[in-house]
Amino acid sequence: MSKTVTLTIDGKQVTVPEGTLIVDAAKKIGVDIPVFCYHPKMQPVGMCRMCLVEVGRPVVDRATGQVVKNEDGTPQIRFAPNLMTACTTPVSEGMVVLTESEKAHDGHRAIIEFLLTSHPLDCPICDKGGECPLQELTMRHGPPQGRFPYEDKIHFEKHFPLGELIYLDRERCILCGRCIRYQAEIVGEPVIGFYQRGRATEIVTYSDPGFDSYFSGNTTDICPVGALTTADFRFGARAWELKAEASICAQCPVGCNIVFNTRREAKSGGRVVIKRVMPRQNEEVNELWICDKGRFVHHYTHSAERLSRPLMRKGETLQPVSWEDALRTAAEKFEAAGKEVLVLASGRLSNEDLFNLKALADGLGGRAVLYGDMGGGDLTTLVGVGQGTNLATLGAGDAILVIASDLQEEAPIWWLRVKQAAERGATLIVANPRATKLDTYASFVIRYANGDEVQTVLNLAKKTDKIGQAFAEAENAVVFFGSEGLGLEGSQRLAVACAHLLRETGHVGKPNNGLIGVWQRANDQGAWELGFEPVADLQAAFEQAGAVYIVGADPFGDGRLTLDGVKERPFLVVQEILPTPTTEVADLVLPAQAYAEREGTYVSGERRVQRFYAALPPYGEARPDFAITAAIGKRLGLDLEDGSAEKVFERLAVTQPAFENLTYARLAEVREQWPIVGRGDLYYGGTAYENRRGLGVQLVPAAQREEPVTLPEVQGEAGPRPEEDEWLGVPVTRLLDRGTTVLLSTLLHRRIGEPFVVVHPMAAERLSLAEGQKARLTVNGASAEVTVRVDETVSAGVVLVPRSMGLPLYEPMKVSLKAL
């Protein structure tokens, strides 16, 4: 029990933990002290002077140390002669704070008047108008008229690009420093800074590309004026014209809570489109932040390329057909194929879609295969993190192991949370075959050679060195395992080894302990939960099938499947939202709704089930994935639910033990969170949205349910290693890749860059290649032109090949690299 302090704010008594700042204490009882530079997630600096309040403390007799009392027994209060800033003053026992006295009002009015002396009259065109703290606080605290002559307002550069994603308007900037402090304190990448001083101070960025940080979009949320705005949303709509609907970001397994802001747009022919993505507060998942990928890749939902009608192959081309014909054909073909039906689904789909697909596959006696190259989902079901896990509570005495994952590229918000945990004192062990951005915060960095992943984990389990000991002795330990340099088999074996490590050190079955998979797609965890598993030889599975039902995956575009040399090709039904190389070769194409057009649930990597809601009307004749599957199933005589996503979830909850007792209502429950953000509170925490649509519920792993947990045996052999005179290509993940969503974005795609590979400088020399030079990479018969990059921390003999760049490498395999 930490010490508490009782004080009086505006006549109301409040008891808060020691060390709380006055402005936070006031927030707890609903007193909104105006702030600009203060942000509840950052250290206070007292730069703007807006939170001025009158502070009085009890008079203490110096001789006796006793509080001096008035005649009526109340303590004598001496007020400070000047106003004090509430954001930098911690509370003390018996303090009296007046926030609405005449002096305080004068102070607030004066500060607003000063801030407005040079603030340009941009409100009509400023993107922040309508959700602007300066506007709100001026209405509440400011003077009705300014006394500063309009012609003397100082003029600076407007519309200055800080990189291509963020615009800075230097005239509007009130120099609160929130953006700079956010980048320096919270993200740890100080790529923006103050330049010059006094009235000429301005924000600059010297990184290349400008404002080079995956979290740059968050600064536009916390900027209290319209100085920092996103280029993506520039002039998109006024803030009050937007409708907000809660959803979950589907770009990575973190499952950040977001809000889609939509509006009917004339530019797209009168359709309702997503105008921007904003964060929604969920302190257990993403706090108030989202990464730039989640923020800027919503444009695919209103691409003109979207599939809107079912298509059937007649002759050489795909012709539009009615839903009736399409569903009937699909059902006929599946019935004919019977047990030889292959259902290939990916983690892009929601739990409801996957549940119906599995039911369809089971009903026919066919196979349900997860499209992906990462294994270990069966382990996370057994020893995943316990219910009640919150990375924000990890600190000194806890341990985090991140192995085979470049966390900032694969799950940026997890990187942020792990970094913050390390800064709070958690022992962070980063094990990777090359340097990553998490190394700076790690207590221990293990650099293993490609192929030694499992051995590294086994060494930790032996507790022979201080790293292993630190992990074993930690009170709580979480292991993040990824697929850096690994394919299906490698990641599966790694997951098994990590699970054993956790069990042996007693870090299973409780909150903040367990295994987290850094999956490649948003709902891979959900897919594993519902019985989907990847297979090693996808091509063989494809060729053996009589009919293949591919949903939400593009194996032909990724080079995982090919029709070359296939004598008897199966009947191919593809359910997608956009045309892809896979739909090009399909026999039947079914248009599905994007997840923003319907509701459903995803399971995040931390095994949290979260609901997303429909923000857009359906596109064309597209239907939700689960409804299409159910319609086919019904025609096959199977009892599949097609009514609503909620009804499907009800069935799911009954049949899957992990989802026991979960309902949509439970998933929609919210609790009060700290800091209190909400659009009515004068934007204390920025313009992130309050969470009123659900915090989600974490699934309970088998270990926590006290079931017996049988782990597969550890297979300790090393993975593929580079041979003498050979090059071993290994897959790595980049955040900005040539996946559909990023390619169709309007700005972010410029940062994808050309396909590239990374090699050690010595390897580059041996191949007579230099940094930036073009080369030809050949893998599995397919070859592509790539740019060469050099990294000294990469193992010699290894070539890093990023996934989703058009190069068909999905597990460590031999490659050849030649200069052009």
Partner 1 sequence: MPVLEPLIELGRGLWTTFRSMFERPVTYQYPEQKRPVRPRYRGRHVLKRYENGLERCIGCALCAAACPADAIFVEASENTDEERYSPGERYASTYEINYLRCIFCGFCEDACPTEAIVLEDDYELSFTDRRSAIYPKEMLLEPVGPEAEPTPQRTPPGLYTRAVPEMEDPKD
Partner 2 sequence: MSLAEKYPQEVERILAKYPPEHKRSAVMPLLYLAQREEGYITKAAMQDVAQLLEMTETEVAAIIGFYTLYHDKKEGKYRMQVCTDLPCALRGADQFLEELCENLGIQVGETTADGLITLEEVKCLAACDKAPMFQLQSGEGIEYYENMTVDKTMELIEALRKAGKEVE
Q: Is the Cβ of residue 216 or residue 580 nearer to partner 2 in the bound state?
A: 216
Residues facing 265 on adjacent strands: 271
Instruction: Encode 492-517: b = buried (16+ Cβ within 10 Å), e = exposed.
Output: bbbbbbbbbbbbebebbbbebbbbbb
Q: Does 145 bind partner 2 (CB under 8 A)?
A: no
Q: Does 271 bind partner 1 (CB under 8 A)?
A: no
Pick from 283, 261, 281: nearest CA to 272: 261
Residue 169 binds which entry of partner 2, partner 1, none, CB below 5-8 Å type-dependent: partner 1
Q: Does 158 bind partner 1 (CB under 8 A)?
A: yes
Q: Is the separation of the CB atoms in 551 and 573 below 8 Å?
A: no
Question: In this chain, which of 164, 265, 332, 791 binds partner 1, going by CB under 8 A?
Answer: 265
Question: In this chain, which of 49, 238, 437, 666 binds partner 1, going by CB under 8 A?
Answer: 238
Q: Does 791 bind partner 2 (CB under 8 A)?
A: no
- Alpha carbons 760 and 774: distance in angstroms, whole number: 16
Sign of CA dihedral 490, 492, 498, 501: negative
Q: Is the Cβ of residue 81 or residue 270 nearer to partner 1 in the bound state?
A: 270
Q: Which two tokens stand for residue 749?
A: 């795609």
- Alpha carbons 551 and 355: distance in angstroms, whole number: 13
Question: In this chain, which of 3, 147, 197, 267 binds partner 1, going by CB under 8 A?
Answer: 267
Residue 189 binds which entry of partner 2, partner 1, none, CB below 5-8 Å type-dependent: partner 2
Q: Is the Cβ of residue 86 or residue 126 nearer to partner 1 in the bound state?
A: 126
Question: In this chain, which of 88, 117, 207, 778 binds partner 2, going by CB under 8 A?
Answer: 207
The structure tokens 């941009």 sit at 122
Q: How far is the CB of 204 from partner 2 (least distance, A)?
A: 6
Q: Is the Cβ of residue 113 or residue 202 nearer to partner 2 in the bound state?
A: 202
Task: Considering only residues 124 through 143, tell me which ones interact with partner 1, judged by CB under 8 A.
Answer: 124-125, 129
Question: In this chain, which of 93, 122, 185, 189 binds partner 2, going by CB under 8 A?
Answer: 189
The structure tokens 């089930």 sit at 609
| Angle at 406 (CA atoms; ends 405, 410), nearest 5 degrees | 90
- Alpha carbons 47 and 19: distance in angstroms, whole number: 20
Residues in Cβ contact with 11 at an 8 Å cutoff, skipping those fewer than 6 apart: none
Q: How far is the CB of 440 from partner 2 (least distance, A)?
A: 9
Residue 724 binds which entry of partner 2, partner 1, none, CB below 5-8 Å type-dependent: none
Judged by CB under 8 A, the stretch of 195-203, 286-294, 324-332, 794-802 that binds partner 2 is 195-203
Q: Is the Cβ of residue 202 or residue 489 nearer to partner 1 in the bound state?
A: 202
The structure tokens 């090059």 sit at 727
What is the phi-psi region of residue 463: left when phi exceeds 0, alpha when psi lies from -120 to 50, beta otherwise? left
Other beta carbons within 10 angstroms of residue 169's beta carbon come to: 22
- How many residues touch partner 2 under the rule CB under 8 A: the total is 13
Judged by CB under 8 A, the stretch of 199-207, 247-255, 403-411, 449-457 that binds partner 2 is 199-207
The structure tokens 């990189």 sit at 163
Question: In this chain, which of 206, 771, 774, 782 binds partner 2, going by CB under 8 A?
Answer: 206
Q: Does 154 bind partner 1 (CB under 8 A)?
A: no
Q: How far is the CB of 211 from partner 2 (least distance, A)?
A: 9
- How many residues touch partner 1 under the rule CB under 8 A: the total is 20
Q: Is the Cβ of residue 138 or residue 456 nearer to partner 1 in the bound state?
A: 138
Q: Does 234 bind partner 1 (CB under 8 A)?
A: yes
Q: Does 235 bind partner 1 (CB under 8 A)?
A: yes
Q: Is the Cβ of residue 180 or residue 585 nearer to partner 2 in the bound state?
A: 180
Strands (E), 196-235: 202-204, 228-230
Q: How far is CA 341 from CA 278, 338, 358, 364, 559, in A?
A: 41, 6, 12, 7, 22
Q: Does 209 bind partner 2 (CB under 8 A)?
A: no
Q: Does 194 bind partner 2 (CB under 8 A)?
A: yes
Q: How far is the CB of 227 from partner 2 (least distance, A)?
A: 17
Q: Strand 4-9 vs strand 12-17: parallel, antiparallel, or unpaired?
A: antiparallel
Helix, strand and coil content of the chain, in percent to the nearest 5, comes to: 25, 25, 50
Other beta carbons within 10 angstroms of residue 30's beta carbon come to: 12
Q: How far is the CB of 617 from partner 1 (least distance, A)?
A: 18
Residues in Cβ contact with 807 at an 8 Å cutoff, skipping those fewer than 6 apart: 559, 755, 777, 779, 782, 784, 786, 801
Q: Does 159 bind partner 1 (CB under 8 A)?
A: yes
Q: Is the separation of the CB atoms in 732 and 801 below 8 Å?
A: yes
- Alpha carbons 183 and 166: distance in angstroms, whole number: 14
Q: How far is the CB of 192 from partner 2 (least distance, A)?
A: 6
- DSSP, res 258: E
- Alpha carbons 318 and 263: distance in angstroms, whole number: 33
Q: Does 199 bind partner 2 (CB under 8 A)?
A: no
Q: Is the Cβ of residue 205 or residue 476 nearer to partner 2 in the bound state?
A: 205
437 phi/psi in degrees, rounded to 5: -75, -5
The structure tokens 């602007």 sit at 132
Q: Strand 782-790 vs strand 756-759: parallel, antiparallel, or unpaired?
A: parallel
Q: How far is the CB of 275 from partner 1 (least distance, A)?
A: 11
Residue 207 binds which entry of partner 1, partner 2, none, CB below 5-8 Å type-dependent: partner 2
What is the phi-psi region of residue 781: left when phi exceeds 0, alpha when psi lies from -120 to 50, beta otherwise? left
Judged by CB under 8 A, the stretch of 57-65, 117-125, 657-665, 781-789 that binds partner 1 is 117-125
Of how many residues is the chain composed? 820
Residues facing 367 on adjacent strands: 342
Q: Does 168 bind partner 2 (CB under 8 A)?
A: no
Task: Considering only residues 796 through 815, tell me which ones interact with partner 2, judged by CB under 8 A.
Answer: none
Q: Is the separation of the CB atoms in 784 and 755 below 8 Å?
A: yes
Pick from 267, 307, 346: nearest CA to 618: 307
Question: In this chain, which of 80, 121, 336, 396 binds partner 1, going by CB under 8 A?
Answer: 121
Q: Does 272 bind partner 1 (CB under 8 A)?
A: no
Q: Does 169 bind partner 1 (CB under 8 A)?
A: yes
Q: How far is the CB of 170 from partner 1 (least distance, A)?
A: 11
Question: In this chain, which of 107, 120, 210, 412 binds partner 1, going by CB under 8 A?
Answer: 120
Q: Does 197 bind partner 2 (CB under 8 A)?
A: yes
Q: Is the Cβ of residue 235 or residue 316 nearer to partner 1 in the bound state?
A: 235
Question: In this chain, which of 9, 23, 96, 191 binds partner 2, going by CB under 8 A?
Answer: 191
Q: Does 240 bind partner 1 (CB under 8 A)?
A: yes
Q: Is the Cβ of residue 158 or residue 463 nearer to partner 1 in the bound state?
A: 158
Residue 193 binds which entry of partner 1, partner 2, none, CB below 5-8 Å type-dependent: partner 2
Pick from 349, 277, 271: nearest CA to 304: 271
Applying CB under 8 A, the residues found at the interface with partner 2 are: 189-197, 204-207
Applying CB under 8 A, the residues found at the interface with partner 1 are: 120-122, 124-125, 129, 155, 158-159, 169, 171, 234-235, 237-238, 240-241, 265-267
